[in-house]
Structure 1
Amino acid sequence: MFSKILIANRGEIACRVIKTARKMGIKTVAVYSDADRNALHVEMADEAVHIGPPPANQSYIVIDKIMEAIRQTGAEAVHPGYGFLSENKAFAEALAAEGVAFIGPPVRAIEAMGDKITSKKLAQEAGVSTVPGYMGLIADADEAVKISNDIGYPVMIKASAGGGGKGMRIAWNDAEAREGFQSSKNEAASSFGDDRIFIEKFVTQPRHIEIQVLADSHGNTVYLHERECSIQRRNQKVIEEAPSPFLDEATRKAMGEQACALAASVGYTSAGTVEFIVDGARNFYFLEMNTRLQVEHPVTELITGVDLVEQMIRVAAGEALPFAQGDLKINGWAIESRLYAEDPYRNFLPSIGRLSRYRPPAEVVEPARAIRNDTGVFEGGEISMYYDPMIAKLCTWAPSRDAAIQEMRLALDEFELEGIGHNLPFLSAVMDHPRFASGNITTAFIAEEYPEGFEGAELPEDLLRRVAASACAMNRVAEIRRARVSGRMDNHERVVGADWVIRLQGQEYAVTINADREGATVRLNGSEYRITSDWKPGQPLARLMVDGAALVMKVARIPGGYRLRLRGADLRAQVFSPRMAELAALMPEKLPPDTSKLLLCPMPGLVVSLNVAEGDEVFEGQALCTVEAMKMENILRAERKGRVAKINAEAGASLAVDDVIMEFE
């Protein structure tokens, strides 16, 4: 077994590998760029080596710099994580030449299956059903348009060396094919150092289901069942689960055996994933094979009990797998929510900044539930514009899918994160969505259910009443404290009233509170709720029991009441005495400022190009400029017809959120 390994990656996956290596008694080496000097993976590792400036193409994907770090530290093996150099044939060859073990598949397998174009050709030759497409190299945008017309719209434009949603676009017409080709090419070059692009038919209403395989060098290949990854946005997975709520045992077995056969045909060893599109009739079509560990691997670990990173290390050290296919059973259900630094209220645009508060729910492993949080950040740390916007992967496990979803609802509500925009509210809203709860999902789920973007969730009436009753009980505790501090409460004289009015989510409720030593009984518009909690004023998280059911809310004091956040909703709860409620109803509503004649930068980023000039007339949908953030290009378009009056930014400029890019007449 190795005594020291280097992790050629950063963030949560580097931390994840370090945890397993530590458990196995193996020392670890981290590498870091200038931007990651104080990163969590650097702190966790036994040693750390600086490898250059923040951009990945000057640090994390420069093979020579990683090789020099290996020589400096005497690492015997390298785990590449995912992304960066994980599927880079040249990197694996450089390690072999140096006599350093690659904790991944052989060079031949990387070359055969790591390249999306080559893998599809090999799959076709092996008789595997594949999605129609053009696997050759595409010279320019004109050729991309021609190929797209030959295949038939809609088409998927993809980076050959891609992954993680980078370098991928869906085109529904010639204009989108032309734009998508160039943006995919640019993102591919920036993220992977390889700008080759291919095009395939975009299958509507698909489910994205993948098979986890594991193989050793002794001829053993097994599949660890499937993961469903259909909840995606811009081809980037957001929520994954294992097993799939859609597959039957026969389909699972057929997909698993085909995945193993494909892996064996190229001499695959280590962990890998074969991805499929599955239609409504459970017909499945090969998409690609990822010759590395997947981001969503924790859900497989939770339902199988297998530490995939440990098995990767053992296989790389020449050991045989300690189990056979018949040993791998499905135990319960696991769900993973990817927490991203993306603001759902701004169409999920990237957000950067300092994490002023970062308090994930406690990790637990119990017979009936588990909570796991894979992360690479910490409170006070910064989210950089240079890398993927992932903050953490929150996972829950329970004996059934419904129970795993309920555990995820509570865990998301307990997750405290402040300082940046993030997608926690959206993740919570999906967990409560009836379509997700039913398992009737496709990769079009987000586009179909949130066509105008995400503007927050509205709580159903029964939950809203529980929240209202809880907020009033909490307000009573706060009022008693204020009365005692001010001296208004003397010798236990009751000066805090029992009758209140609460307004939230457009509703108004009359409330009467009867409290005792154990809690409070709240009568709200004719219904009664028994509420217990140890919440104290000033605590940002309230954990309550309402009629015996758990309720978790993030709480902040605002004038006249509280800001309450739970289940994807961001509520302003105003609590009044009956007389104050009468007066508050007379107050005028404050209107937001008019920004209709301004193009505001929707996220911190770099202006890549400007497509118009001052004085130009623009039309609805016309591209105005392109802003890059976190390796993704975002084309900003005109919302209506108008004329450009003034341009306030230039190509190459770094902008903050809401900076004015241009003004219109």
Structure 2
Amino acid sequence: MFKKILIANRGEIACRVIKTARKMGIATVAVYSDADRNALHVKMADEAVHIGPAPANQSYIVIDRIMEAIRHTGAEAVHPGYGFLSENMKFAQALEAAGIAFIGPPATAIEAMGDKITSKKLAAEAGVSTVPGYMGLIADADEAVRISAEIGYPVMIKASAGGGGKGMRIAWNDDEAREGFQSSKNEAASSFGDDRIFIEKFVTQPRHIEIQVLADSHGNTVYLHERECSIQRRNQKVIEEAPSPFLDEATRKAMGEQACALARAVGYTSAGTVEFIVDGNRSFYFLEMNTRLQVEHPVTELITGVDLVEQMIRVAAGEALPFTQADLKINGWAMESRLYAEDPYRNFLPSIGRLTRYRPPEEVATRAHVVRNDTGVYEGGEISMYYDPMIAKLCTWAPDRGAAIEAMRVALDSFEVEGIGHNLPFLSAVMDHPRFVSGDITTAFIAEEYPEGFQGAVLPDALLRRVAAAAVAMHRVAEIRRARISGRMGNHERHVGADWVVTLQDQEFVVSVAADKAGATIRFADGLVHRVESDWTPGQPLARLAVDGDPLVIKVGKVPSGFRMRLRGADLTVRVRSPRAAELARLMPEKLPPDTSKFLLCPMPGLVVKINVAAGDEVQEGQPLATVEAMKMENILRAERRGIVKAINAAAGASLKVDDVIMEFE
């Protein structure tokens, strides 16, 4: 076994690999850029080597710098994590030439699966189901109809040189195939100067389901069942689970066996993932093979009990797999939520800055449930603009899917992150969404359910009343504390009234409180009663309560006459007033937010790359106005309506904060 390995990566995956290496008694070497000098993976490793400036193309993906770090430290093997150099054939070859073990597949397998056309050809030769289609030259509409009928409707008619949706039609019958062929051909000719057309099966109700494979150098190849990754935004996975709520045993077995067949066909060793698209009839088709560890590997580990990183290390050291396919059973259900530094209320734009508060839920592992948090950050650390915005991967396990979802709800509500924008509210909202809870999901889920973007969750009435009851109980505790501090004479509890009016989410509830040493009973005017118990004290930012015996976790902040409460994707201002104060509050005019419609505001901290217009220009809806770079992604800011530019307040090269004014309109 290796004595020392180098992790050619950063962040949460570097920390994840270090944990397993430490468990195995293997020393670890971290590499770091200027931006990561104080990063968590650097603190956790036994050694750390500086490899260059912050940009990845000057540090983490410079092969020569990684090789120099290996020589300097005497590392015997390298784990690449994912991203960066993990699927770089030249890196794998450089390691092999230097006599260093690559904790991953052979360079030949990386090369074969890295090319989309080659990989699909190899998959078909290995007996893996691929999307039916015809890639040859199609002479005319009659031939297009014949080919479409052979493939089976619906089909996708595509321009060979297409892009941006041009030259693309879906046909559900012969007439639509005939018409679609001619339309696509005409569009392709006018848009690309190339009228070649191909036809392939159109997958309806698509779900993204992938198979985890593991192979050694002794001829053993197994699959560790599947992961459902259909909750995606712009092709970026957001929530994953294992197993899939959609597959049956027969489909699971067929997909697993085909994934293993492909791995064997390319001489694969180590951990890898074969990705499939699955339609509403459970027909599945090969997409691609990822020749590395996947981000979402923890959910597979939680349902199988297999440490994939450990097995990757052992395989790279020449050991045989310690189990067979028959040993790999599915135990329970696991969920993973990806916590990103991105603001869901601003169309998920990246957010950077200091984590002024970072308190993940406590990690636990019992027979009833598991909470696991893979992370690479810490409170007080910086979220850099140079790298992927992932903060953590929060995972839960339970004996069944419903319990795993409920454990995730509580864990998300318990996760405290302040100082930057983040997608915790969105993740919580998905966990409560009826379609997700039922398992009725496709890759179009987010686009279909949040077509106008995420504006925060609206809590159902039953949950809203539980929150109202909790707020009243907490307000009573705060009032008693104020009575004690003020030094009022007599029994301090006499100074705290029993009747209150709670307003939240545009609703008002009249309630009365009967308190005892164990908690408070809240009675609503319509007769509904809730029992609230908690050890919360004023000033604590997280309240853990039991309402009628069921857990309720709320992030709490103080506002006049009440609280700011965040849970289940909702951000609520909750007012708790005496009946007289509530009566007077109803007479107060509503304070409207300032009108910013005549300003282009910077939606995130970033660097102005380009200003596309000048003062006096007339702009049209959708026209590019400026480009701002953050986290190495360029974000084009467009006009929301027609108007005339009055003034430009920022120039290319300027560094802006959130809501800084870029330009004004007349």
TM-score (norm 1): 0.90
Q: Which moved more, 1:203-212 or 1:536-545?
A: 203-212
Deviations 1:401-454 (A, max 9, x none): 000000000000111111110000000000000000000001110110001111
Shift of 1:628: 2.7
Q: CA RMSD in A?
A: 2.4
Counterpart of 2:65 in structure 1 is 65
Equivalence map 1:555-594=2 (5 Å)? 555-594=556-595
Equivalence map 1:136-285=2 (5 Å)? 146=162, 152=168, 205-285=205-285
Equivalence map 1:227-626=2 (5 Å)? 227-492=227-492, 494-525=494-525, 526-626=527-627
Counterpart of 2:596 in structure 1: which amino acid? T
Deviations 1:115-162 (A, max 9, x none): 4443234334445443489999xxxxxx996466786269xxxxxxxx
Which secondary structure does the structure 2 equivalent of 1:443 belong to?
A: coil
Q: Is the 8 A contact 1:133 1:151 kept in 2?
A: no
Structure 2 Cα separation of the partners of residues 202 and 48 of structure 1: 50
Which secondary structure does the structure 1 equivalent of 2:406 belong to?
A: helix
Counterpart of 1:312 in structure 2: which amino acid? M
Structure 2 Cα separation of the partners of residues 408 and 87 of structure 1: 32
Q: Does 1:42 align with 2:58?
A: no
Taking a change above 3 Å as real, the CA distance of residues 605 and 200 of structure 1, as seen in their structure-2 partners, is farther
Shift of 1:336: 0.2
Counterpart of 1:554 in structure 2: which amino acid? K
Shift of 1:58: 0.4
Deviations 1:365-400 (A, max 9, x none): 100100000000000001000000000000000010
Which secondary structure does the structure 1 equivalent of 2:494 belong to?
A: coil
Structure 2 Cα separation of the partners of residues 134 and 103 of structure 1: 38
Shift of 1:644: 2.5
Which secondary structure does the structure 1 equivalent of 2:288 belong to?
A: strand
Structure 1 Cα separation of the partners of residues 87 and 412 of structure 2: 33
Shift of 1:629: 2.0
Taking a change above 3 Å as real, the CA distance of residues 123 and 624 of structure 1, as seen in their structure-2 partners, is farther
Which secondary structure does the structure 2 equivalent of 1:152 belong to?
A: strand
Counterpart of 2:103 in structure 1 is 103
Q: Is the 8 A contact 1:145 1:174 kept in 2?
A: no
Counterpart of 2:33 in structure 1: which amino acid? S
Taking a change above 3 Å as real, the CA distance of residues 358 and 272 of structure 1, as seen in their structure-2 partners, is same
5+ residue gaps, structure 1, are 137-142, 155-172, 180-198
Deviations 1:622-660 (A, max 9, x none): 233333322333222221112223333334433222122
Which secondary structure does the structure 1 equivalent of 2:446 belong to?
A: helix
Q: Does 1:80 align with 2:61?
A: no
Q: Is the 8 A contact 2:87 2:291 kept in 1?
A: yes
Structure 1 Cα separation of the partners of residues 447 and 191 of structure 2: 22
Which secondary structure does the structure 1 equivalent of 2:82 belong to?
A: coil
Structure 2 Cα separation of the partners of residues 374 and 18 of structure 1: 12
Q: Is the 8 A contact 2:555 2:566 kept in 1?
A: yes
Shift of 1:60: 0.3
Shift of 1:614: 3.4
Q: Is the 8 A contact 1:117 1:135 kept in 2?
A: no
Counterpart of 1:170 in structure 2 is none
Taking a change above 3 Å as real, the CA distance of residues 592 and 127 of structure 1, as seen in their structure-2 partners, is same
Deviations 1:80-126 (A, max 9, x none): 00000000011111111111100000011011113444323433444
Taking a change above 3 Å as real, the CA distance of residues 289 and 479 of structure 1, as seen in their structure-2 partners, is same
Counterpart of 1:157 in structure 2 is none
Structure 2 Cα separation of the partners of residues 278 and 82 of structure 1: 25
Counterpart of 2:572 in structure 1: which amino acid? L
Counterpart of 2:644 in structure 1 is 643
Counterpart of 1:627 in structure 2 is 628
Taking a change above 3 Å as real, the CA distance of residues 618 and 591 of structure 1, as seen in their structure-2 partners, is same
5+ residue gaps, structure 2, are 137-158, 171-185, 193-198
Structure 2 Cα separation of the partners of residues 250 and 40 of structure 1: 43
Q: Is the 8 A contact 1:121 1:135 kept in 2?
A: no
Counterpart of 1:20 in structure 2: which amino acid? T
Structure 2 Cα separation of the partners of residues 519 and 302 of structure 1: 37
Which secondary structure does the structure 2 equivalent of 1:485 belong to?
A: helix
Taking a change above 3 Å as real, the CA distance of residues 204 and 632 of structure 1, as seen in their structure-2 partners, is farther
Q: Is the 8 A contact 2:127 2:261 kept in 1?
A: no
Q: Which moved more, 1:389-398 or 1:524-533?
A: 524-533
Taking a change above 3 Å as real, the CA distance of residues 150 and 456 of structure 1, as seen in their structure-2 partners, is closer
Taking a change above 3 Å as real, the CA distance of residues 658 and 211 of structure 1, as seen in their structure-2 partners, is same
Shift of 1:3: 0.3
Q: Is the 8 A contact 1:489 1:495 kept in 2?
A: no
Deviations 1:251-297 (A, max 9, x none): 11111111111111000000000011111111111111100000000
Deviations 1:439-493 (A, max 9, x none): 0001110110001111111111011111101110111011001000001143556
Structure 2 Cα separation of the partners of residues 532 and 324 of structure 1: 49
Counterpart of 2:146 in structure 1 is none
Which secondary structure does the structure 1 equivalent of 2:41 belong to?
A: helix
Structure 2 Cα separation of the partners of residues 428 and 385 of structure 1: 25
Shift of 1:559: 1.1
Which secondary structure does the structure 1 equivalent of 2:609 belong to?
A: strand
Deviations 1:65-94 (A, max 9, x none): 101111110000000000000000111111
Taking a change above 3 Å as real, the CA distance of residues 218 and 613 of structure 1, as seen in their structure-2 partners, is same
Structure 2 Cα separation of the partners of residues 282 and 38 of structure 1: 48
Counterpart of 2:660 in structure 1 is 659
Structure 1 Cα separation of the partners of residues 210 and 652 of structure 2: 41
Taking a change above 3 Å as real, the CA distance of residues 623 and 135 of structure 1, as seen in their structure-2 partners, is farther
Structure 1 Cα separation of the partners of residues 625 and 484 of structure 2: 59
Structure 1 Cα separation of the partners of residues 572 and 651 of structure 2: 39
Structure 2 Cα separation of the partners of residues 451 and 211 of structure 1: 30
Shift of 1:527: 1.1
Counterpart of 1:636 in structure 2: which amino acid? L
Q: Is the 8 A contact 2:128 2:261 kept in 1?
A: no
Structure 1 Cα separation of the partners of residues 258 and 319 of structure 2: 24
Taking a change above 3 Å as real, the CA distance of residues 201 and 629 of structure 1, as seen in their structure-2 partners, is farther
Taking a change above 3 Å as real, the CA distance of residues 123 and 151 of structure 1, as seen in their structure-2 partners, is farther
Counterpart of 1:213 in structure 2: which amino acid? V
Structure 2 Cα separation of the partners of residues 118 and 652 of structure 1: 43
Which secondary structure does the structure 2 equivalent of 1:213 belong to?
A: strand
Q: Does 1:33 align with 2:49?
A: no
Q: Is the 8 A contact 1:153 1:201 kept in 2?
A: no
Q: Which moved more, 1:45-54 or 1:201-210?
A: 201-210
Counterpart of 1:238 in structure 2: which amino acid? V
Number of corresponding residues = 621
Bigger radius of gyration among the two: 2
TM-score (norm 2): 0.90
Counterpart of 1:45 in structure 2: which amino acid? A
Structure 2 Cα separation of the partners of residues 269 and 174 of structure 1: 45
Counterpart of 1:192 in structure 2 is none
Taking a change above 3 Å as real, the CA distance of residues 545 and 489 of structure 1, as seen in their structure-2 partners, is farther
Structure 2 Cα separation of the partners of residues 622 and 492 of structure 1: 63
